[in-house]
Amino acid sequence: MSKRIIAISLLLLITSCKSTLSPTEKRNLTNEIDAMGTIDQVAAYIPQGKYANYSRQRWNSFKDSVMADNTKRAELLYKKYGYLGFDKVGEKGETQFWVIVQHSDKSVDFQNKVLKSLKKEVSKKNASPDNYALLYDRVKVNNGEKQLFGTQVEYRKNGQAKPKIGLIDSINVDGWRVKYNLEPLKKYLNFMTERNFNINKNILIKKGITEPVFYK
């Protein structure tokens, strides 16, 4: 074997994703993803605890910083390890990694790359099908396209949730959802409507909306 071929082989070995992790590497990686996932959930929700008194500007700055830092780190981890599925970080860790990617809206190219890997991991039963569905819709919406599963929502003036931009196949949407372990769309939209009402209750009540406006 020539030196040139050996050099190329070594380069491919170095740059390829690491698939086999030692118990210590798995533990450290799982702990890191857990810490990233925890701060992501703080930033993704309404200001609470020590953040409750933050001004809107300070809160938005904190939120943007968390998402940017998480995205940057997630991109490095993905480059090194590939998609972090059940085999590498467990079921909780897989969902936490997915959530971080889901919230990496300022890096749609990264979301696209992960989506392709996630599809393969789902086929190997190494990742959650519902996570794939939500990331698929997220990428579609971020690209200004209609969704397949209707998971990404926006809210009408009365607080009722509806699929953002629209659906690719409104007639068969529940058929697609069941294939990826998602509940019927109407039930999901009612859940999101109720959640939005509880979060924005004071604002909606001032508008004369005293209870969630559910789909019948």
pLDDT digits (tens, 9 = 90+) for 31-69: 999 999 999 999 999 899 999 999 999 999 999 999 999
Whole-number Å distance between alpha carbons of 95 and 174: 23
User: What pLDDT is recorded for position 25?
Assistant: 95
Whole-Å CA distances, 17 to 32, 46, 204: 18, 36, 49
What is the full DSSP assignment across the chain? --HHHHHHHHHHHHHSPP----HHHHHHHHHHHHHHHHHHHHHHS---GGGTT--HHHHHHHHHHHHHHHHHHHHHHHHHH-S--HHHHHHHHHHHHHHHHHT-TT-HHHHHHHHHHHHHHHHTTSS-HHHHHHHHHHHHHHTT--BSS--SEEE-TTS-EEESS-BS-SSSHHHHHHHTT---HHHHHHHHHHHHHHHTHHHHHHTT--S-----
Band (pLDDT 50/70/90 cuts) for residue 139 is very high
The per-residue pLDDT for 20 is 82
Percentage above 70 pLDDT, the chain: 91
Give the model's pLDDT for residue 8.
43
Domain ranges of the chain: 21-109, 128-216
Buried b (16+ CB within 10 A) or exposed e, 8-23: eeeeeeeeeeeeebee
pLDDT tens digit string along 177-204?
999 999 999 999 999 999 999 999 999 9
Average pLDDT, rounded, for the chain? 93
Whole-number pLDDT of residue 16: 54
123, pLDDT greater than 60: yes
The two structure tokens encoding residue 21: 């992790």
* pLDDT value for 11: 45
> What is the amino acid identity at position 55?
S
pLDDT tens digits for range 71-81:
999 999 999 99
What does each C-alpha distance from 205 to 45, 156, 200 come to in angstroms?
21, 15, 9
Q: Where does the pLDDT of residue 4 fall: very low under 50, low under 70, confident under 90, or very high at 90 and above?
A: low
- The pLDDT of residue 18 is above 80: no
Report residue 152: phi and psi, to 5°: -95, 120
